[in-house]
Amino acid sequence: MQHTRLRPGFTLMEILLVLGIIAILAAIVIAALNPTKQLSDARRADRRVSLREIENAAVQYIIDGNSLPGIPTGISNALPICQDTVTGNDCTVTAGGYDLSALSTNGTYLVNIPIDPNETGSTLSGYRIYRVGSFIKVCSPVLDATCGS
C-alpha cells in the first residue's frame, strides 16, 4: 500500500473563499458606517457651533457698550458676514456684506470670524446676520433655506 504524503498549507480555493468573505464583511461595515453621512453631520454641527459663536460674540460686544448699526430685520433680509480680513468699503460696498471685523480685533470677542466649510471665496464667511426685535441672530443658507432669500 502506497501512502501519499500531504503537504501542510492552504489550497488556492480556501484562500479565495476567505478573501471573498472578508470583502463581503468589509462592504457591509462600510455601508453601515456611511462615511458621507458622518461627514455631513459633522459639518452641520460645526456650522451650528459657528453660528452660536458669532451670535454670542456680537451680544457680548453690545453688552460692553458698543453698537452694531445697520443690521437688517428679518431672516429674509439677512446680510452676508464678511471674513475678518475684508473690512470697510471692501466688505459693505464691494462684497455687499456686513463688517463684523470689530469682533475679532485683538481677539477680544472672537479670534477670527468662522468660515463655512463650503465657502470657497476669500470675501464672505458663508454666514448671514439679521435682527429679530432686539436679538441679533446669525444663520447659514446651508442649514436654513430662508436665510437671506
Q: What integer pLDDT is reported at residue 2 of this predicted model?
A: 67
> HEC string of the chain?
CCCCCCCCCCCHHHHHHHHHHHHHHHHHHHHHHCHHHHHHHHHHHHHHHHHHHHHHHHHHHHHCCCCCCCCCECHHHCEEEECCCCCHHHHHHHCCCECCHHHCHHHCCCCCCCCCCCCCCCCEEEEEEEEECCEEEEECCCCCCCCCC
pLDDT tens per residue across span 76-96: 999 999 998 899 999 999 989
pLDDT value for 24: 94
pTM assigned to the model: 0.75
The whole-number pLDDT of residue 37 equals 87
